[in-house]
Amino acid sequence: MCPGISDELLRVEDTRKSANIDRELKRLNIDIAGLQETRLSSKGKLKEQVTNSLRSSIEPPFGGTELIFSLRYLSPSDSVHLLSINAPTLYRSEETKHQFYKDLNCVIRNIPTNENIYRLGHSNVRVGSNHDSWHICVGHFGIGNMNDNGQRLPEFCTYHNLCITNTFFANKPSHKASWRHPGSHHWGQLDLIITRRSFLNSVQLIRSYHSADCDTDHSLIRSRIRILPKNCPSSSAESMWNYIRDDLYTTSIDTFGMSERQNPDWFSAGLLELEPVIEEKIGALMQYKSDSSTNSAPEQLWIPITTKE
């Protein structure tokens, strides 16, 4: 475990540090990484690193602030919003903290509720292990106690129906903590991955890797996520049959076409021979209608039937 950064590491060139981070991400098979407080020249403080295999599915970043970076990943089954954040520390002013959560609230409110969110980065809070008070967002496996800065995050998560995934997995204590206080040497759970409560089953595992050499006093947090396909809308048996019937008929017509009539029409073929008979029939019908004797209703004859007892 690395409690801090040595003076030798501080003198390492930025390009060498970036290459070392890339090597560690590749070693741990990480496809998307949220990096905070980067110190590359002409770069910002937040960064998300995406593997080449996923770049074509990433929309350009939109919105966000200096402490909030957002992008959208379009998977074959669903859309996922990735937020890389660097929350204010405990000793920042109340105005700064309030403005940060206000900006974060605006970002999340603009995301459709049917699309998932994964919030990565330094939360800089201790949410503790009080599951009874925050059962929606805090699981049974948190560590430590809530600090003065930890009240805002559970309230925010409860309001947006989010959950802190780090607290829902029964890992070893060393795999839950991600940062050690330089003075008290107490380990804390500061680097949190947050998602919607309804999508918690998409997170298969989350733990910290203290062996990752990323030139920081924070340990790397790795989360394995399985994006679930959307549920198909339920249909009745009749609608499903109509869909199959129409699809088969349309495909058959497009492939084989309509069959032409093989037998000639007997009426059209024998029209010359039938013409005199048709004319005679029409004449008989006209004579029948013009005959006055046929216009009166026929008399009804009643035949009494007697039965012998």
Residue 271's alpha-carbon distances to 94, 109, 260, 282, 286, in angstroms, are: 100, 78, 22, 15, 22
The reported pLDDT for the residue numbered 53 is: 57
Say if pTM beats, i.e. exceeds, 0.85. no
Q: What is the 3-state secondary structure (H, E, C) of the chain?
A: CCCCCCHHHHCCCHHHHHHHHHHHHHHCCCCEEEEECCCCCCCCCEEEEECHHHHCCECCCCCCCCCEEEEEEECCCCEEEEEEEECCCCCCCHHHHHHHHHHHHHHHHCCCCCCEEEEEEECCCCCCCCCCCCCCCCCCCCCCCCCCCCCHHHHHHHHHCEEEHHHHCCCCHHHHCCEECCCCCCEECCECCEEEHHHHHHEEEEEEECCCCCCCCECEEEEEECCCCCCCCCCCHHHHHHHHHHHHHHHHHHHHCCCCCCCCCHHHHCHHHHHHHHHHHHHHHHHHHHCHHHCCCCCCCCCCCCCCC
17-61 per-position pLDDT tens digit: 777 778 888 888 888 888 776 665 555 444 555 665 566 677 776
Tell me the domain boundaries of the chain. Answer: 7-225
User: Quick one: average pLDDT of 97-122?
Assistant: 90
174-203 per-position pLDDT tens digit: 898 888 888 888 888 888 999 999 999 989
* Structure tokens belonging to residue 132: 């009874």
Write down the CATH number for the domain with range 7-225: 3.60.10.10
Residue at 118: amino acid letter: Y
